[in-house]
Amino acid sequence: MRTRAITVTILALLTAATATGCAKSQAEIAGACSLAFEKLDKAPHKDDPRPPACEGLNDEDYNLIHSHKVLKDAGLLDK
C-alpha cells in the first residue's frame, strides 16, 4: 500500500513538472502574437477569432496588440 502511494505521488509530480515545463510564458506568446499581427495586411475585426499564435494570450495583452495594429494601420503610429 505504501509503495502505491509513493508511486502515485511521483507520477503526479512528474506530470506537473512536465506540464509546467512545456507551457509558454505570456511574454513568449505575446511576442509570437505580435509577429503574427505584423504579417497581417490589416487588423482583424474585434469579433473575429484570434490568430493561432495569440490563442494562449490573456485578453489585456491581446487587446493591446490588436489596438496597436489598428492604430498603425490608420497611420497614427510610426514604425
User: pTM to 2 decimals?
Assistant: 0.67
Which pLDDT value is given to residue 71? 92
Side-chain half-sphere of 56: how many Cα atoms within 13 Å?
Answer: 11
Number of domains within the chain: 1
7 falls within a domain? no
Tens digits of per-residue pLDDT, 14-58? 665 555 556 889 999 999 999 999 999 999 988 899 999 999 999
61 falls within a domain? yes
48 falls within a domain? yes
DSSP string, 21-33: HHPPPHHHHHHHH
19 falls within a domain? no
13 falls within a domain? no
pLDDT at 7 over 70: no
Enclosing domain of residue 61? 24-79
Which pLDDT value is given to residue 46? 80
39 falls within a domain? yes
